[in-house]
Structure 1
Amino acid sequence: MRGEEGRAEMLERPSAGPAGHDEYQSIQCLRALAALMVLVYHVGTTLSVLHDGPVRPHWLTAGVDIFFVVSGFVMVVATRRRPVGPGRFLRARMARIVPLYWVATLLYAALLVLQRQGAPSLEELLKSLFFVFYTNPRTGEPTPLLVPGWSLNYEVYFYVMFAAVLWLSVARRILVLGAIFAFICMFRPLVPADDALLFRLTSPHPLEFVAGMALAYAASAASRLPAWSGAILIAVAFAGLATIGTGLSRVLFFGPFAIAIVAGAVIAEPLFRMAVLGPLRRLGDASYSLYLTHPLVVTLLLPLLAPGTAVAGAAITMAIASIVAAFLSYHAFELPIAGLARGWIRGRRSNAPATEADRPSG
């Protein structure tokens, strides 16, 4: 795959490998695992209304931290061999994430109205759709209307900053973004607790993206390590997440484990190519749909469950229904929209003068 079409495809495929035509199957599997972690956590949160006491382990929310590390990794891999301009990069990323997010957000708003939970205000809806951090009046937290969308706000924040340093070498991108995000984090103690925008912008979460970038930079060296050592690193990291209790903040606790899991996956890449993991890799393809559509499925199913419903049965039903809906969304919506987006991006470039960064790369 070469030239303009090749670059568009690389930017839209979430785990393009360093060969330019291959993929990191380990990253695909991690995307599936991370989405499943978030799904199970949210199912447990929802079912807590049917059960006395919590029914979800908090460490499962680390799936989002894994997503952040993976995103930083993928952005470096997707751009280091096929240079791309900032505008083209941002168009490709927005075309990848916006359509499904907007549709899911609007459907969720309609669902709230149908279930008489209150229609969102126009301001709330617009801030949600355009990735503006604000305090959700329903949750009291700095989340958008579709709660999992808070991570997309960080994704967009990272994409804008990443686009601004695309002209630098990979090593310098890592150093510059790391320094910028670390500097911004220093202002966190000065931020009012009720200022959602400043609270989110001064979070250390963006440093997880930078860690993923660093892992991509070191991927060639990591691939020379024994695959079994990567598998052990993954197992130890997950065990630590599930068993270690700490008073540290979320990023300081989840971040190192998420970084270790992604590093282990890159080292253990040969193991993730086994045929038995095929279903997990396919779920990785649909992980974005799973991440965004499962709140709709869970919200739809909850009223159908009687207060005395067995928690295990309800959880399994919600999880299976969410996975089925994710595959339907992926094949019926994500793939067709991705094809249209590639055509749109190529069309935009056909009317603009080529720059050195936009020329075929080999």
Structure 2
Amino acid sequence: MTAIQPSEAPSTPGPADQGSILTNIQVLRGLAALLVVFVHLQDLVRLGGASQGIFAWGNSGVDVFFVISGLIMVQATARRPVGPALFMRQRLTRVVPLYWLVTLGVFTLVWLWPGLFSSTDADPIKLAKSLAFIPYQRPDGELHPLVFLGWTLNYEMAFYLLFSVGLLAGRARLVLPLFVLGLAVVAGLIFAPTTPLARFYTAPVILEFAGGMLLGAGRGRLPQGRVAALAAAIAGACALVLMLAAPTLWPGVDRAVAAGLPALVIVAAALMLEKSGYVAKWPMARRIGDASYSIYLTHFFVTAAVTKLAAKLGMTSWPELAGLMMLAFGLVILAGLAVHYWVELPLARLFKPGARPWSRDQESPAKAKLATTGPLDH
């Protein structure tokens, strides 16, 4: 667990995406990314006889990401006006370069070695749809792009587009996206669409963005102080337990309720703790949070490689698999940090609106790191 210690004064947002990032929220982003890693280590532990879905609770990391995304978009546009075009350009700059790079990498690997990834083939049409964030149904029935994790980015990009249109309303910028998100879910519940695309964009999970937006709008009204911090810590811990236990406690309940509501409480607790002066102090936790987008997009390369190595070497005992899991997590974090500092940040600086990529007057890496957040910021 990351040590939480009281700061000398209540924390205020740092300079990220127009001044919107909070330390505790960054740490939560890192935790969310690492939760998703568990999901993709399931094939490894199944070598030892574990059942399918043993780490299904790791999927809740995505729900935390969605809530944080709604929160950060409100925070990022609260301090100074920003128009739809600039907003979308900033979002595309943050989301697209690394995602396209990983997508093209997967396409190349599958083209060279067909069958390397299950349910993924080197189809140029599917590549184009993946790069354009257009959902399509794969042979396994899932609406996943070439990089299967990209289904979350399809939601993110749709949310960004909706949010950007709402910016036309100025101070009432949240009204349109909140209304449309709610209307889409209600329509989905009433009409029960059968087409995959309609089901995708009317799924209740999109309400997690709305929850994050409402939390961002009401952040200034959250209580603070020692009593509030204690209540937040207890509520956040209980919500985390319920979120992770949700697949076992209520497997038939929609994730927007089973995982989305606890995720909302967890994010609110993190905000209250920081507002009360209790901030995560472990530097590595913040670095992992900064690199959460890179970790999220690249970790499956590591988990797949470790799983294939274990299968090839016949490592199926639980002590061996436990050691390999620890190794995989270490490699996932190292790879994610490397991609973040050496690929993600340089790309962000290169494509940043108004940037002069070939100028000698570049931002320092440290400043650039603070000035950007990932899309699952995201």
Please give the range of the TM-score, normalised by the shorter of the 2 chains. Answer: 0.7 to 0.9
Q: CA deviation at 1:167?
A: 2.8
Alignment of 1:219-238 (within 5 A): 219-222=219-222, 224-225=224-225, 226-238=228-240
CA contact (8 A) 1:28 1:284 kept: yes
Instruction: Tell me the amino acid that sits aligned with residue 130 of structure 2.
Output: S
Kindly state the Cα deviation for residue 206 of structure 1 after the two structures are TM-superposed: 2.1
Task: Give the corresponding residue for 2:371.
Answer: none
| C-alpha contact (below 8 Å) 1:43/1:315 kept by paired residues | yes
Q: Is the aligned partner of 1:321 residue 2:331?
A: yes
Gaps of 5+ in 1: 1-8, 18-22, 348-362
8 A contact 2:64–2:263 mirrored in 1: yes
* Amino acid across the alignment from 1:243: A
CA distance in 1, matches of 2:32, 2:277: 18
- Matched-pair contact (CA < 8 Å) for 1:105–1:145: yes
Q: What is the CA–CA distance in structure 2 between the aligned matches of 1:224 and 1:232, rounded to whole Å?
A: 14
Unaligned runs of 5+ in 2: 1-14, 357-378
Whether the 8 Å CA contact 2:36–2:59 is kept in 1: the answer is yes
| TM-score under structure 1 length normalisation | 0.84
1:101-250 equivalence runs, <5 A: 101-117=99-115, 119-137=121-139, 139-169=140-170, 172-189=172-189, 190-193=191-194, 195-222=195-222, 224-225=224-225, 226-244=228-246, 245-246=249-250, 247-250=252-255
Distance in 2 (alpha carbons) for counterparts of 1:104 and 1:272 = 37
Q: CA shift at 1:114, angstroms?
A: 4.4
Shift of 1:223: 5.0
Distance between the aligned counterparts of 1:112 and 1:192, measured in 2? 33
User: Who is 1:358 aligned against?
Assistant: none
CA contact (8 A) 2:224 2:273 kept: no
Q: In the alignment, what sits opposite 1:353?
A: none
Deviation at 1:327, TM superposition (A): 0.5
Q: CA deviation at 1:110?
A: 2.5
- The AA in structure 1 aligned to 2:36 is V
Name the one with the larger helix percent. 1
Matching residue's letter, 2:232:
G
For 2:43 and 2:85, how far apart are their aligned partners in 1?
A: 39
Contact 1:44 1:315 in 2 (8 A): no
Deviations 1:267-286 (A, max 9, x none): 011565343x2211110000
Query: How far apart are 1:168 and its partner, in Å?
Result: 2.7
Check whether the contact 2:60–2:244 (CA below 8 A) recurs between aligned residues.
no
- Stretch deviating more after TM superposition (102-111 or 223-232): 223-232
Alignment of 1:282-361 (within 5 A): 282-306=287-311, 307-309=314-316, 310-342=320-352, 344-345=353-354
Give the number of aligned pairs: 326
**Most deviating of 27-36 and 290-299:** 290-299
User: Which whole-Å deviations, capped at 9, do the CAs of 1:40-69 have from their partners, x for residues lacking one?
Assistant: 121124543553423633222111011011
Aligned-pair identity in percent equals 35
CA contact (8 A) 1:136 1:143 kept: yes
One-letter code aligned to 2:85: G
8 A contact 1:174–1:210 mirrored in 2: no
Summarize the Cα distance change of 1:264–1:293 in structure 2 as closer, same or farther, 3 Å threshold.
Answer: same
2:169 corresponds to which letter in structure 1? L
Match of 2:376 in 1: none
Q: Which amino acid aligns with 2:157?
A: V
Query: What corresponds to 2:373 in structure 1?
Result: none
Alignment partner, residue 59 of structure 1: 57
Q: Which moved more, 1:249-258 or 1:173-182?
A: 173-182
SS of residue paired to 2:259: helix
Cα distance change on mapping 1:272 and 1:305 into 2, 3 Å: farther
Distance 1:248 1:148, change over 3 A: same
CA 1:116/1:325 → structure 2, altered by over 3 Å: closer, same or farther?
A: same
Of 258, 263, 267 in structure 1, the residue corresponding to residue 263 of structure 2 is 258
Offset, 1:116: 3.3
Q: Encode CA deviations 1:102-156: one digit per residue, 9 max, x unaligned.
A: 111121223334443163211111111111111122x321111111110000000
Say if 2:81 and 2:170, in contact at 8 Å, map to a contact too: no
Shift of 1:10: 4.1
Secondary structure of the equivalent of 2:224?
Answer: coil
The answer to whether the 8 A contact 2:223-2:272 is kept is yes
Q: Is the 8 A contact 2:273 2:279 kept in 1?
A: no
Normalised by the length of structure 2, the TM-score is 0.80
Root-mean-square deviation (CA, aligned residues, Å) is 2.1
Task: Give the Cα–Cα distance (whole angstroms) in 1 for the partners of residues 255 and 306 of structure 2.
Answer: 30
Deviation digits for residues 227-261 of structure 1 (CA, Å, limit 9, x no counterpart): 22221121010111233511211112111111101
